[in-house]
Structure 1
């Protein structure tokens, strides 16, 4: 009489482990997305930078010097397409 419900625990335990592992994976993904600087609810495709923003960011971080920055700005302005 003592082991009558044992089969239910044997069926339940794998489901419990799958749920626990899924929760850990979800938490890791959620935390790494949030630490990338975007809001967790903001999709990645909405955070696209314009060429000017990329250039500004690279200049601000010191990747390019003032001469390269001004040349690139002139080049971008000259080749900007005018909307119809």
Structure 2
């Protein structure tokens, strides 16, 4: 009953409300994070290793950015 304090809360009441609000929102946000992780399987795709120079060169040749002669020259330079 607040009659004992003249109808006003003491400092402890405000502190308890502040802490309670932080705990409440932490539980809400934590629950959302857990639900999202459970709904997506909780796993991420494994990281792909970076492409090697030969793979990049082969991709450029496949896209038609370089011709066969240039591809062979650059491949020989990479391997040599």
TM-score scaled by length of structure 2: 0.43
**Which of structures 1 and 2 has the bigger CA Rg?**
2
